[in-house]
A and B are shown apart, each in its own frame.
Chain A
Amino acid sequence: MKKTDVTKPRPQGAKTNAANKKMASKYSGVHECKKDYLSNKEMSEAIEATLYSTLGDGEKLIFVIVSDLDNAGKYGESALAFTDKRVINVDAERAESYEYSEIGSAKAKRMYGNAAIYIEGDSLKRTRVFRYTYSIVALCDMAAQFLNDLAGGTSFESALEIVQATYDKLNLVCPKCGRTLLRAGAQCIQCQSKTKVVAKLVKYVKPEFKSLMLCVLISCVTTFLALVPPYMTRTIVDEVLPMSVAGEIAKGMAMLTGVVILLLGTHFLSHALGALRGYLTRRSGDRIVLNLRNDVYKKAQHLPMKFYDKTSTGSVINRISGDTATIQAFVLKITQECIVQFILMIGIILIMLIMNPKLTLLSLIPVPLVVIGSRIFSKKIAPFYHKIWRRWAKVTSVMTDTVPCIRVVKAFAGEDRAVDRFEKQNAEWYKVDMASAKITMVFPHIISFAVTCGSLLIWAVGGRWALLGDVSAGLLVSFISYASMFYGPVNFFAALSDSYQSALASTERILDILDAETEQNRDDAIKVDRLDGKIEFKNVNFSFDKTKKTLSNVSLTIEAGDIVGIVGTTGSGKSTLINLLLRFYDNYEGEILVDGHNIKDLDINSYRSCIGYVQQEPMMFSDTIFNNIAYGIPNASVEQVIHAAEVANAHEFITKQPDCYDSMLGERGVGLSGGEKQRLSIARAVLKNPSILVFDEATAAVDSETENQIQEAIERLISGRTTLMIAHRLSTLRKANKIVVVDEGKIIEFGSHDELMALKGKYYRLIEIQSMSNKDTISIK
C-alpha cells in the first residue's frame, strides 16, 4: 500500500541510519566529493535532509532525479529517489514513497511544456509521483522504464543497466556550454569554433592579404597625392597671383603653367592608381565572398536534418545570398577604406599642424561630438539590424512557401490570400525599416551639421586672422580645403558603426550555419564498400523534439537478406525508423548496428552509398533524365544507366520522350507523372547496387497498373538484398518474409505474415480492414 511520510526539514544532526549519515556528511556542502548514488544534479540541503530522514536502516539510495518544478508545478525543486526497496517523491516539506512490489506499471506522460510520472498497481490507483519540465524527460523516461522492468519481473541488477547507461549519457556534456557530446572526450564543436566573430572572417581575408596590402600601398600614394592640390592652391594664391601686382606677369605665367602641369600629373596619377586599386579591391572582395558563399553552401549541404526541421529554406537562402554580400562590403571597408581614411586623417592633421597649430585645434572641436554621437547611434541602431533581418526572413519565407506551391495556390484560388500574407509580412518589414530609417537618416545630418559648424568656425576665426594679417589668404584657403578633407574621414568613422552593426548581424547569421554541428564522422570512422545487411535496433528511443516521443524502446533484429515489411498507421513511427537507419538523425538513445557495427562508427558517405532509398515522393533535379538516374553514381556508363532504367521499368517511357535520356526535367520533376518519377527514383537506387534497400511507401501515390509495374521492378531489385519496405497497401508486402508492426512509436508485433495473422493482433485487424475496403470497392464497381 501507499506509504506516506510527512516530514519537516530535518535539523542538522537529526536521526539517520549509519550508512546514510556517513553519506550525508560526505555529501553536504562538498559538491566535488564522490557520491555513491547517481544523480543529475545536487539536491538542495532541505530536500536532502527530508530524504535521508525517510530512509530506513540499511536502505541504499541507488539514483535520484532532481526536478526544477515543485509538486505544485511552480519553479522550485523536488526529487524522485530510487532506493533498493522503493521509490520516494520528496520535496523540502514532505516525502511520499511506494514499494516497488505495489507498482504494476509506470508511465512518463509528456504534456504541454511539462511532463509527469504516473504509477498504478492492483491496490494502487493511478497516482502522479513526479512533475518536471522537458529538461529531464530522458531521465524520467528511463525511470518509468525502470519501474516497468521491475514490475515485469526483470531482476533489479538488469533493470539498473539502463539506468547506468542513461546517466552515463547524461555525463557526455560539454563542460563549457552544456551541449551533448557525440562521445566521451569529444571536442564540443560549438565551443571549439565560437571564437571572436572577426577572427572567423580572417580566414577568408588571409588569401587576399598580398593583394589587399598592394591596394593599401596604392591608397597611401593616392592619399599623398590627394594632399598635394590644396598645397598647390596656397602656392597659386600666395605666390603666383601676387606676381601680377608686382608686374612679373611672364614669371607668374611660367610658374602657373608649372603648377597646373604638376596638378594635372597629380590628378592623372591619382585617378590611374585609383582605377587599379578599384579593380584589385573588387577582385579581392569577390574572391572573399566567393569562398564565404561556397563554404556556407557546402556547410548547408552537410547540416543534419534537424537543422532544416527548424530553419526555413528562405532563411538559409537569404543568408547565402544577402548576408555574404553585406559581409563582403564590410570586410572591404575594414581592410581598405579604414586604412586609407586613417592615413588620410593623420596626413591632414600633420599638414594642418605644420601650417597653423591654432587653426588645427579649432578644426578639431567637432570631433568629440562626432565620436560621442557615433557611440549613441551605434547603441540605438544595433537592435534594428536583427529586427529588419527577421522581418525580411519572414518575407522571403512567404515567397519560398508560395512560389514553389503555385499549383496549389491556383487550384485553391489562393492568389489573393498569398498576396495578403506577403503584404502583411512586407508591411511588418516596412514598419521596422522605417523606424530604423529615422535613426539612420537623422544621424548623418546631425554629424554633417556639427562638421559644417567646424568649417564656419575656421572661416570666422581664420578670416579675422587673415584680415589682421596674422595668416596669409592662401594659407586660409588651403587650410579650409584641408579641413573639409579632414571631415571626410571623420564622417567615415562616424558612419562605420552603422556598417559594423549591420555586418555583425549578418556575420552572426552566417556563423549560425558555419558553426552548426554537421552530420558527424568520427576521426576513426570505418569506411565500408559493401554490407551483408544485418540490421539491429537496440533499445532505440527518439524524439524530434522533447514534446513527443516518436520511437520508444525499439529493439529489432533483421537478418541479412530479409525482406521486411514495416506497417502501422500514419504517424506511428515507420518512417522515423528509416530516418534513423539512414543516419538523417543521430541524436537518439540506444544503438543501431549494421553487420555488428554501430552505424555512428561508420563513415557516413560510404555507409549511405550502401543503401538504396526510394521515397514516397521522389525528388527530381532540374537536369536530364540521364543525370537524374546517375545522381548517386555520376561516372556511371550509359549502358549501366540504361540497364538500371530497364530494371526499374522506366526505359520504355523514357524512350517515348522526344529527347529520351536527354529530356530535361523541370523543377521537382515537372513533366513526368508520379509513377514515372517513382520509376526513375527506383532506377537511381538500382544503379547504386546497394546492400540494403529501403522503400518508403514507394507505390502509395500511383494507380494500380503503375503499381504493378513498380512492384515488378522492386521484386527484380530486392533479390539477395536486405530490404525494408514501408507500405500502407499491405498487398505490396507479398514478398516480405517478416512483418514489423509499429504503433505509437513501439514495435508491437514482429514475425511472418502467417504468425501475425495467427496472433490476431493489430496486423490482423489492418488486413481485415483492407480486405473489407477492397470488397467495398468491388461492390461499388
Chain B
Amino acid sequence: MAIFIDGPEVKITKVGDTTVQLEVYKGDTYPSLEPKRLFPRSSLTQYVTLMEETADGTAKEVAIIRNIENLDKESRKAIEDCFANYYMIPVILEVLDVVEKYGMVSWTCRTDKGVITFKIRNRLSDIKLLYDGRVLIRDSADNRYEIPNVSKLDKKSRKLLANEL
C-alpha cells in the first residue's frame, strides 16, 4: 500500500529533470523518484504519486502526496519544476485563425508556450467540451491543449471557434 504524505513530514529536493529526492524525516530517503499527477486533467495539485524506477525498468509507487500545496515552499517548488518538464499542456490564450482544408481543421493559437499551428483530424472526437466551459483538445499528433474557460476568450477567438465546439 502506498504511503500518504500530508506535507510537513517530508523534504523533497529536485535531483533531475523530472526526478526528486524524498526524505521522510522519521524514515527512509529515496534518492530518485518521479512525481506524476494522478488526476492530470481534474486536479493539478492534489494526489501526486512518487514513482521509483526499479532495476527491470518498471516503475513502483513509493508514496502519494495528498496535496502539494501543503508541502514546504522548497519541496513544492521541486515538484512543480519537475511538472514543468514532464507536463506540457499549452493553455490557449487566443485563437488567431481556424482554417479547414482537405478534411483537416488547422488552428493557429497563441498559447502560454508561444504561437503554434496544429491540425485537428476529427473535431467530433478530438475536442472535448466540459461542463464548466473548459475545452480539451488533442491534435493529429496526439499533443494536448487546453482552454480553461471558452467564454473568457476574446470575441474574435470565440467567433472563430463557434463552428468547432
> Footprint of B on A, CB under 8 Å?
68, 73-76, 109, 111-114, 116, 118, 126, 128, 133-135, 137, 174, 176-179, 190-191, 194, 310-311, 315, 382-383, 386-387, 390, 393, 424, 428, 509, 512, 515, 545-547, 743-744, 762
A134 neighbours in B (Cβ, 8 Å): 141-143
Partner of B119, one of A109, A178, A545, A744: A178
Q: Which B residues touch A128, using CB under 8 A?
A: 17
| A to B CB contacts below 8 Å, 28 in the list | A73-B84, A73-B85, A73-B88, A73-B113, A75-B111, A111-B87, A112-B86, A112-B88, A112-B144, A114-B88, A114-B143, A133-B88, A176-B102, A177-B103, A190-B104, A194-B102, A194-B103, A311-B122, A311-B124, A315-B124, A382-B162, A383-B162, A383-B163, A386-B165, A390-B165, A515-B103, A546-B141, A744-B57
With contacts A75-B111, A113-B143 taken as known, whether A744 is within 8 angstroms of B163 at the C-beta atoms is: no
CB-CB contacts below 8 Å: B39-73 with A: 40, 56-58
Q: In the complex, how many angstroms separate the beta carbon of B31 from the nearest chain A beta carbon?
A: 12
Measured CB to CB, the nearest residue on chain A to B141 is: A135
Interface presence of B2 (CB below 8 A): no
With a CB–CB cut-off of 8 A, which chain A residues contact B115? Answer: 75
Closest B residue to A109 by beta carbon equals B18
Cα–Cα distance between A76 and B115 once the two chains are bound (Å): 9
Q: B residues within 8 A CB of A744?
A: 57-58
Q: Does B16 contact A (CB under 8 A)?
A: yes
Residues of A within 8 A of B86 (CB): 111-112
In angstroms, Cα B17 to Cα A239, docked, is 99
Contacts of A545 in B (CB 8 A): 142
**B27 interface residue (CB < 8 Å to A):** no
Q: B33 at interface (Cβ–Cβ under 8 A)? A: no
The verdict on B116 contacting chain A, using a C-beta distance below 8 Å, is: yes
Tell which of A190, A383, A512 touches B102, judged by Cβ atoms closer than 8 Å.
Answer: A190
Count of interface residues, chain B, beta-carbon cutoff 8 Å: 38
**CB-based contact B88/A135 at 8 Å:** no
The distance in angstroms between the C-alpha atoms of A68 and B142, with both chains bound, is: 14
Could you tell me if B125 and A113 are in contact, using CB atoms closer than 8 angstroms? no
Chain A residues, Cβ within 8 Å of B125: 310-311
Question: Are B102 and A382 in touch, CB under 8 angstroms?
Answer: no
CB of A245, distance to nearest CB on chain B (Å): 65
Complex CA–CA separation, A156 to B43 (angstroms): 47
B20 within 8 A of A: no
Give chain A residues whose Cβ lies under 8 Å from the Cβ of B16: 126
Cβ of B25 within 8 Å of any chain A Cβ, yes or no, is: no
Given the contacts A112-B88, A176-B102, A393 and B142 also touching, CB distance less than 8 Å: no
B residues within 8 A CB of A386? 163-165
Residues of B within 8 A of A178 (CB): 104, 119
Contact B101 A177 (CB under 8 A): yes
CB distance from B114 to the nearest CB of A (A): 3
B24 at the interface (CB under 8 A from A): no
Does B147 have its Cβ within 8 Å of any Cβ on chain A? Answer: no
Residues in B88-106 with C-beta less than 8 Å from chain A: 88-90, 101-104
**Chain A residues within an 8 Å CB radius of B111:** 75
Instruction: Determine the chain B residues whose CB is within 8 A of the CB of A111 once the complex forms.
Output: 18, 85-88
Task: Tell whether, in the assembled complex, residue A135 and residue B124 are in contact, meaning their CB atoms are under 8 Å apart.
Answer: no
Also in contact, A512 and B142, with CB within 8 A (given A73-B88, A133-B88): no
Known: A75-B115, A177-B104, A311-B125. A135 touches B143 (CB 8 A): yes
Question: How far does the alpha carbon of A386 sit from the alpha carbon of B104 in the complex, in Å?
Answer: 16
B residues within 8 A CB of A68?
Answer: 116
The interface residues of chain A lying within 8 Å CB-to-CB of B143 are 113-114, 133-135
Q: A113-B89, A512-B124 are in contact. Are A191 and B141 (CB under 8 A)?
A: no
Residues of B within 8 A of A191 (CB): 102-103
**Distance of B24 from chain A, by nearest CB (Å):** 24
Tell me, rounded to whole Å, the shortest Cβ–Cβ distance linking A439 to chain B.
Answer: 13
Known: A113-B88, A177-B104, A386-B164. 8 other contacts (CB 8 A): A73-B84, A112-B87, A133-B88, A134-B143, A191-B103, A194-B102, A512-B124, A743-B58
Point out residues on B near A: beta carbons under 8 Å: 16-18, 40, 56-58, 84-90, 101-104, 111, 113-116, 119, 122, 124-126, 129, 131, 141-144, 162-165
Query: Within 8 Å CB of B119, what residues of A?
Result: 178
In the complex, chain B residues whose CB is within 8 Å of the CB of A762? 56
Number of A-B residue pairs having CB atoms within 8 Å of each other in the complex: 100
Nearest B residue to A110 via CB reads B142
Q: How far is the CA of A762 from the CA of B55 in the complex (A)?
A: 13
Q: How far is the CB of A473 from chain B (nearest CB, A)?
A: 53
The 4 closest A-B pairs by CB, nearest first: A75-B114, A113-B88, A177-B102, A114-B88
Interfacial chain A residues near B144, Cβ < 8 Å: 112-113
With contact pairs A194-B103, A546-B141 given, residues A390 and B87 touching in the complex (Cβ less than 8 Å) = no
Cα-based distance from A590 to B104 in the complex (angstroms): 27
Q: Are B114 and A76 in contact (CB under 8 A)?
A: yes
Residues of B within 8 A of A393 (CB): 124
Residues of B within 8 A of A310 (CB): 122, 125-126
Cβ–Cβ contact A382 & B163, under 8 A: yes
Shortest distance between the CB of B32 and any CB in chain A (Å): 9
Nearest B-chain residue to A387, judged by Cβ: B165
Smallest Cβ distance from B110 to chain A, in angstroms?
10
Q: Closest residue to B101 on the A side, CB-wise? A: A177
Q: How far is the CA of A383 from the CA of B141 in the complex (A)?
A: 26
Nearest Cβ distance between residue A223 and chain B, in whole angstroms?
37
Q: Which of B40, B57, B103 contacts A190 (CB 8 A)?
A: B103
CA distance A137 to B143 in the complex (A): 11
Which of chain B's residues have a CB closer than 8 A to the CB of A509? 124
Least CB distance from A630 to B in Å reads 35
A112 and B103 within 8 A (CB)? no
Closest residue on chain A to residue B127 by CB atoms: A390
Q: Which residue of A lies closest to B119 (CB)?
A: A178
Chain B's nearest CB lies how many Å from the CB of A15?
Answer: 32
Residues of A within 8 A of B122 (CB): 310-311, 512
Report chain B residues within 8 Å CB of A73.
Answer: 84-85, 88, 113
CB–CB B103/A133 < 8 A: no
Once the chains are docked, how many angstroms separate the CA of A68 from the CA of B164? Answer: 25
- Tell whether, in the assembled complex, residue B102 and residue A112 are in contact, meaning their CB atoms are under 8 Å apart: no
Q: Which A residues are CB-close (under 8 A) to B141?
A: 133-135, 137, 546
- A76: which B residues are within 8 A, CB to CB? 114
Q: How far is the CB of A253 from chain B (nearest CB, A)?
A: 65
Bound CA span A111–B36, Å: 10
Contacts of A176 in B (CB 8 A): 102
The CA-CA distance from A178 to B125 in the complex, in Å, is: 20
**Which residues of chain A come closer than 8 Å to B85, judged between CB atoms?**
73, 111, 116
A113 touches B162 (CB 8 A): no
- Chain A residue nearest to B162 (CB atoms) is A383
Shortest beta-carbon distance, A70 to chain B, in Å? 9
Determine whether the beta carbon of B114 is less than 8 Å from that of A74.
yes
Least distance between A391 CB and chain B CB atoms (Å): 9
Among B16, B87, B113, B122, residue most surrounded by chain A Cβ atoms (within 10 Å): B113
Residue of A nearest to B112 (CB): A74
| CB-defined contacts of B165 to chain A, threshold 8 Å | 383, 386-387, 390
CA–CA, A134 to B145, complex, Å? Answer: 12
| Bound form: Cα–Cα A393–B115 in Å | 32
* Residues of A close to B124: CB separation below 8 A: 311, 315, 390, 393, 509, 512
A361 and B34 CA atoms in complex are apart in Å by 79
